[in-house]
Amino acid sequence: MSILPLLVFKYYNFVNESIWSLLSRLGLRYELHGLNWAIPVGISFFTFQAVGYLFDVYYQRIKAEKSIVDYTLFVCFFPQIFSGPISKANELLPQIKEEHRFNYQQGVQGLKFLLWGMFLKLVLADRLGLYVDKVAASYEMYSGGTCVLSAVFYSLQIYGDFAGYSLMAIGVAKTLGFNLINNFNRPYFSVSITDFWRRWHISLSRWLKDYVYIPMGGSRCSKLRNYWNIFVTFLVSGIWHGANWTFIVWGLIHGFAQIIEKALGWNNKESKGITRMLRIVCTFVIVTVAWVFFRMPSLGDAVKFLSHAVSDLGKPQVLSIANFAIYGLAIAIVVVKEVREELFPSKLRFLNNRYVRWIKYVVVFCLILLCGALDSGSFIYGSF
Amino acid sequence: MGSSRAAHHYVPELITEKLGMSCFNAGQDGNGIILQYGRWKMISERYYPKLIIYDLTFGYDIAQNDNMTYLDRLKPFSYDKTIRAYITGLFPVENLKLFSKMYCFNYKFLEILSDLMREEVTDGYLPITSKMKLDREYKSFPFDGNKVDDIKLNNVEKLVEECNENGVKLVFVVSPSYLGGDYDVEAFEPIRKISVNHNIPFYYYCDSEISNDANLFSDPSHLNDEGARTFTCIIAEAIKKL
């Protein structure tokens, strides 16, 4: 019953069209009317949150919630209802029941998250989105280099967009006195696809692990069964992202990559120096190729885009010098921040100096106003 | 006036030569009537031009989409009461945001800098020198009546009325697109109706003879410099006969 609204709203048309397409190839006429309904905002997120609660109650990890008001607030907690993070009942419900008073330190921390989230969304993601959208709409007209650049930009765009939203949600919740799970941990520094899923959309990875992968047997079974479990988990991940074959292929690319890594023993292998760099680059390339399937409207377009990118080599086109200056600035700021946090977390302490911190806040705030794409653009994950 | 198709398709020097009047190309990449009506309000505060050639693009002059993006280039001029009233009339919350000058010049400061470095003066015309390499089949999109934006059409109507009231000759043109282009003539029906009601000339060149010559295009929606010069001569001759 919990997943019925999700199935009807999100997948009815997809299943209907897929069956119609299959039968029409066999010469059979079958057609049901499609639904032209508005899909409730964040349906995938709050459905997963509700399903997680049911599992936890069923397996007696938590007690059933008696207050309908608290339960409703848990499922519909407004900072996260649009695009997560997907919280577990044992994390959020106790916080809902607590009395909250304003905490200055938590408020400041929340506003910092909010500011950085807005920078990622408005300056990085939405600006890069202008280039990506233009190239993706008519990729045949651009050189292969331009397509490759737009694919790389999309990897950064979706990170800025989704991590930006998550940080804003976490920040808003923090100012209200609630702590939500951190959803991203510098995912493009991953050394393998397995590592990528420990750093990207952490709340979804955790949900899939707890409610799909482990109930199927996880890794405490035969190798083949374990590979099957990984395959099914990422198939579910792909289907969850959207009712389109492109998302299913995207999920399967990640699933197969993890199976290969596991078979070769690369999933937990530590590496340093050049080897680590090479692994980071290889992982980024695989993730970027998979994002092409995620971005393009159909499988055919994704395959054509990739073949065009590698066959029609040419210089990447700079569509607007002003935009490229902003891309460069935004990417440089994000890379410097993330490199510092990933590689030198306890060094460069002067950056934590009070005055330096305030300079950073003012600069980021001004950059949002001066360079952010301040239109009424939406969030990529808002459509899931 | 119009979108990038206006900016790339009309050569001011040829219009001056053919029609004997000074000319400026006010076409703007990725924009249409929402921006251009604001520009018209600003221009008409100072003087009235003799002639406006308005190049129509379905996406920017008729279709329903995010009108907020088209106000970007008007925000730096929000100190002007008319422009401020126009912007806040469309989006009342902008009244608050426009107090921030950084917001008004959002993204524009880099464009202003890059424009300062531009050496050639082309009176607004942006020539493209490349030729279209692509040789593929294009199909036109069927017109979907549900997608018409009343705000855009209202602006078109107001532009027409104000031009008529002030003796400004207005001409609507749909310039060539490769092989007939993006949209059928039906898609422009709402504006064609306005033009008929107000006795405004309406030229549809989207599927004209030069639309079949790939050498005159830089991409399916934009003529290159050679194509623009050919087309400007054609449209100038047509206007001359009015």
For B160-185, what is each residue's pLDDT tens digit?
999 999 999 999 999 998 887 666 77
Q: Does residue A308 have an active-site annotation?
A: no
Question: What per-residue confidence (pLDDT) applies to A381?
Answer: 64
**Any B CB within 8 A of A132 CB:** no
A319 pLDDT band, cuts 50/70/90, is low
Tokens of A181: 């799970």
CB B30 within 8 A of CB A137: no
CB A18 within 8 A of CB A34: no
Mean pLDDT on A47-60: 91
Mean pLDDT on A116-120: 96
**Any B CB within 8 A of A370 CB:** yes
Of A167, A157, A175, A122, which is closest to residue A370 (Cα–Cα)?
A122
Question: What per-residue confidence (pLDDT) applies to B16?
Answer: 94
The type of residue at A159 is Y
Q: Does the beta-carbon distance from B107 to A371 stay under 8 Å? A: yes
Is the dihedral angle over the CA atoms A122, A123, A128, A133 positive or is it negative? Answer: positive
- How many helices (H) and strands (E) chain A has is answered by 17, 0
Question: What per-residue confidence (pLDDT) applies to B177?
Answer: 87
| ipTM value > 0.85 | no
Residue B143 pLDDT more than 60? no
State the smallest CA–CA distance between residue B220 and chain A in angstroms.
9
Chain A positions in Cβ-Cβ contact with residue B136 (cut-off 8 Å): 140
The continuous run of DSSP H or E covering B222 comes out as strand B222-223
Euclidean distance between CA atoms A56 and A210, whole angstroms = 10
Chain A positions in Cβ-Cβ contact with residue B97 (cut-off 8 Å): 374
CB A351 within 8 A of CB A50: no
Of the listed A33, A100, A241, A254, which one is catalytic? A241
**Any B CB within 8 A of A313 CB:** no
Mean pLDDT on A195-224: 92
Q: Does the beta-carbon distance from B109 to A374 stay under 8 Å? A: no
Residue A15 pLDDT more than 90? no
Euclidean distance between CA atoms A293 and A274, whole angstroms = 30
CB B235 within 8 A of CB B205: yes
What letter would DSSP give residue B203?
A: E
Chain A positions in Cβ-Cβ contact with residue B219 (cut-off 8 Å): 138, 141
Euclidean distance between CA atoms A227 and A263, whole angstroms = 9
Q: Please count the residues of chain B.
A: 242
Q: Does the beta-carbon distance from A140 to B136 stay under 8 Å? A: yes
A241 pLDDT band, cuts 50/70/90, is confident
Question: Phi, psi (5° rounding) for residue B203?
Answer: -110, 125
Question: Phi, psi (5° rounding) for residue A216?
Answer: -80, -10
**Which pTM does this prediction carry?**
0.83
Residue B148: strand pairing partners? B63
What letter would DSSP give residue A29?
A: -
Chain A positions in Cβ-Cβ contact with residue B110 (cut-off 8 Å): 321-322, 325-326, 371
Tokens of A7: 């199935």
Nearest neighbour of B110 by CB, restricted to A325, A372, A374: A325
State the smallest CA–CA distance between residue B107 and chain A in angstroms.
5
Euclidean distance between CA atoms A257 and A262, whole angstroms = 9
Question: What per-residue confidence (pLDDT) applies to A30?
Answer: 64
Nearest neighbour of B68 by CB, restricted to A369, A370, A375: A375
Regarding predicted confidence, which is higher, B140 or A270?
A: A270
Residue B141 pLDDT more than 60? no
Question: What per-residue confidence (pLDDT) applies to A37?
Answer: 66
**Any B CB within 8 A of A99 CB:** no
What letter would DSSP give residue B221?
A: T
Question: What per-residue confidence (pLDDT) applies to B142?
Answer: 52
Q: HSE on the CB side for B241, CA within 13 Å? A: 7
Nearest neighbour of A369 by CB, restricted to B100, B134, B219: B100
Tokens of B140: 């036109």
Contacting residues for A108 by C-beta, under 8 A, at least 6 apart: none
The sheet with strand B202-204 has its strands ordered as: B51-55, B169-174, B202-204
The pairing of strands B169-174 and B202-204 is parallel
Chain B positions in Cβ-Cβ contact with residue A366 (cut-off 8 Å): 102
* Cis geometry, peptide bond prior to residue B127 (ω within 30 degrees of 0): no
Q: Which residues of B make CB contacts under 8 Å with A? A: 66, 68-69, 72, 97, 100, 102-103, 105-107, 109-111, 113-114, 134, 136, 219-220
Regarding predicted confidence, which is higher, A160 or B180?
A: A160
State the smallest CA–CA distance between residue B10 and chain A in angstroms.
21
Q: Does the beta-carbon distance from B66 to A375 stay under 8 Å? A: yes
Chain B positions in Cβ-Cβ contact with residue A371 (cut-off 8 Å): 106-107, 110
